[in-house]
Amino acid sequence: MMNDYIQNRANSKILRQGSWIIFTLAGLYYLAFIIRSGFLIGDVSWFSLFDDAMIAMRYARNMAEGHGLVWNHGEYIEGYTNFLWTLWMAVIHLVPVHESKTSLLVALSGAMILLINILLIRKIALRFTSNPLVILASMALVAFNYGLIYWTLRGMEVGIITLFLNWVILLSLQLSKRYSHSKFALLLFLLGLMLLTRTDCLILFLIVGSWVSCTVERKYRLNTILFFTGTLLLFMGGHTLFRVLYYHDPLPNTYYLKVSGTPAVVRILRGLDVYFQWMVSFFIPVLIILLVGVITQRKRLFDMRYLLLISPFLMMSAYSVYVGGDAWEWMPYANRYITIAIPLMLLFTVVVLEKVTSGLKSMRLLLIITAAFIVAWYGYITFLLPSSASGLAGFYPTVIWLWGSLKYPVGVLAVMLIIIMGLLYFKADHVKKVRIFAPGVMLTILIVLFLFLEGLSYIHWSKYNALHVIDDRKMVTTGLKIQSLTTPETTIAVVWGGAIPYFSHRYTVDLMGKMDRTIARSNSRLKEFYPGHTKWNYEFSLFRYHPDIVLQLFYKTPNDDRLIKALGYDHIRNDLFIRQGSYDMIRLPFVESNPQKFHDLIFRP
């Protein structure tokens, strides 16, 4: 009895100290990530977000300034898909800071969301185990999951949805143990906020609603179902009514842009392709742990609570496949849809790992399969790496950029890990108490898991910064130069609909259809499906809106050059066109006789 008390106190101390270390290190890294994503323009530090987030920022600023939730003044088109997050951005725009720092405030709020997420994962883990190593490992994997960090700190709604999801999972587990009216009300409210953040959170709503309805005490089930239905009607129905009245459309314009005009079979095949490639590239260690768990511990995994942890991942994976994946599948981490459910899946994986390491046979099986995988993976990448035009989407182009300098240090690390696993494997025969031996095996497997999930992303970040930060600087600089070199009445046309329109403060034509109903409902112009980037019609956009300056084009051809010239534009250089008669909009002397100077001022560093 006394030994158990001492052990519990020791575990509590380890958990408390370990939690503070993870929390502190994570907070410091989030700050470093944010600071490093800024850049100097002149003597001022500027911050921007992922370009899609900057689209929402333009809506938010217009709302904060009293122009409505619109991209261009007076044009009521829903070109965003994150209503509640956009409202939060509007609140941030009420803070009296220079526009160079508004994106910084959004990123800092994202960092706070990530820190709260760590605490939620800790609370959820405590409902499955009292092992401090398991709890701390779950917290660390979530705290340093690069995909979640990237999408959140770059201004996307992924972090807030993940927070809502983890919170409702915790409440669901508590309700299944002991019903509470206040906790149930909070659960419904959070689910409603999820629906307002992204409509496709309906999938998560249905998962949680079904699970809670099946697991609460029988006397509460009918009321539970009725309240879930009422919440769905209130939030989903209310938001749809708002859309119809405000935007005259029941669905976001981006839905039509990404889904309409493309057969479901084409989307699903592309979605399966990129999903399989991501799984093979980065997720196999997770699958190995789960496979060994199913083989050796399947009776102990029969628990309804585990279904609640893995269902969001499975359903968001299915949803990602259905919509054809995301436009940035070449990034070395999960896309925005799947990332939301990654923390719960990682928690489940570590819980399974704890069960696997409770027996010598299952531990040895895990060690030998993991070691064999490391050998096969390294051999494949080193000797059989295919061209960048094929192969594992998650690896390309990132591995090609990095593998030349990583091949030998990664090889040394792989050999060290295999030697450690070999020693653990043979030492297992001489171990009398499994619980003394298990932490070493668990730590080794966790290191392998983290390296495969996150290693490439962190190496890339350390060498090149976060993806698209360099592009952000270019877009912000272009937007600022357009603002300073043109009159306020100037209209522009772009492909990147975020930073340039936001920082230029100019009426903008979106050539890719996010803010154009006609383009969004047109047919795809590419044979290969590429979500949100397959529709454009230069003849329609330029003839209808007559922008003064065309700054960017997508997949420009010689025929496009001739078409745009025929519409009354002068081709200056590359993708820059100026409409004849609009040169007086440019604040440069003799610009009509020397338009090349305008190009150089806009696009050269």
- Asked if the model's pLDDT at residue 62 lies above 80, the reply is yes
- Asked if the model's pLDDT at residue 2 lies above 70, the reply is no
In a domain, 36, yes or no: yes
Confidence of residue 405 (pLDDT cuts 50, 70, 90): confident
In a domain, 340, yes or no: no
State which of 250, 271, 306 marks the end of a domain: 250
- Minimum mean pLDDT range among 95-99, 220-224, 313-317, 397-401: 397-401
In a domain, 305, yes or no: no
Map residue 571 onto helix, strand or coil: strand
In a domain, 398, yes or no: no
Instruction: Count CB atoms within 10 A of the CB of residue 552.
Output: 19
Can you tell me the mean pLDDT for 73-82? Answer: 95
State which of 250, 278, 309 marks the end of a domain: 250
Q: What is the mean pLDDT of the chain?
A: 91
* Count of domains forming the chain: 2
Three-state secondary structure string covering 522-541: CCCCCCCCCCCCCCCCHHHH
Map residue 281 onto helix, strand or coil: helix
pTM assigned to the model: 0.94
In a domain, 396, yes or no: no
Can you tell me the mean pLDDT for 47-53? Answer: 95
Report how far residue 480's alpha carbon sits from residue 474's, in angstroms, rounded to the nearest whole number.
Answer: 10
Instruction: Count CB atoms within 10 A of the CB of residue 415.
Output: 13
- Minimum mean pLDDT range among 42-56, 293-307, 395-409, 465-479: 395-409
pLDDT digits (tens, 9 = 90+) for 112-167: 999 999 999 999 999 999 999 999 999 999 999 999 999 999 999 999 999 999 99
In a domain, 100, yes or no: yes
Query: According to the model, what pLDDT value does residue 396 have?
Result: 52
Confidence of residue 437 (pLDDT cuts 50, 70, 90): confident
Instruction: Determine the structural domain holding residue 477 and report its residue range.
Output: 470-603
Structure tokens given for 493: 């046309």
Query: According to the model, what pLDDT value does residue 3 have?
Result: 54
Report how far residue 285's alpha carbon sits from residue 339's, in angstroms, rounded to the nearest whole number.
Answer: 17
Report how far residue 124's alpha carbon sits from residue 350's, in angstroms, rounded to the nearest whole number.
Answer: 12
- Asked if the model's pLDDT at residue 300 lies above 90, the reply is no
In a domain, 117, yes or no: yes
- Bridge-based pairing of strands 491-494 and 507-510 is parallel
Phi, psi torsion values for 46, nearest 5 degrees: -115, 150
State which of 191, 224, 250 marks the end of a domain: 250
Which amino acid is present at 159?
Answer: G
